[in-house]
Amino acid sequence: MVDASGTWAIMDTVGMAQMDLPDVEAAFPQDKHERFPAVEVEAFLRNQSLRLLYDPTAFESPIALPGPGGVLWRSSGLMASGHYGPPRTMIRFLPRTLLRPPRILRTA
């Protein structure tokens, strides 16, 4: 969980550094309707990891892609580290929703 209310969750990959690539992280709101099912977010992260494998520069600048929940997910561009350890280069994805992400997720 990211915030005290437990309304946002984070999922990430670990180990992309073995291929000299950044890891990928997704933060998303959780609600009783499961608008962003964890299994779909996990598949989205794996697909973005594969995209990086084929094009290591794919997310150096922010980009928006369709993803879980039928909404666009915006990337952060390269970040020095993710929300959780271990320290590593990271790309964060946030869904475009009416619910604003916690401040800690909006800063790199």
The predicted-structure confidence for 71-91, as pLDDT tens digits, reads as follows 999 998 877 777 777 788 899
| Residue 83: Cβ-neighbour burial (10 angstroms; 0-12, 13-18, 19+) | middle
The pLDDT-based confidence of 99 (bands split at 50, 70, 90) is confident
3-state SS class at 104: helix
- What residues contact residue 54 under an 8 Å CB cut-off, 6+ apart? none
Instruction: Cite the DSSP H helix spans in 2-93.
Output: 38-54
Model confidence pLDDT, tens digit, residues 24-51: 999 999 877 788 999 999 999 999 999 9
Going by pLDDT thresholds of 50, 70 and 90, the confidence category of residue 105 is confident
What pLDDT, on a 0 to 100 scale, did the predictor assign at position 106?
67
pTM: 0.85
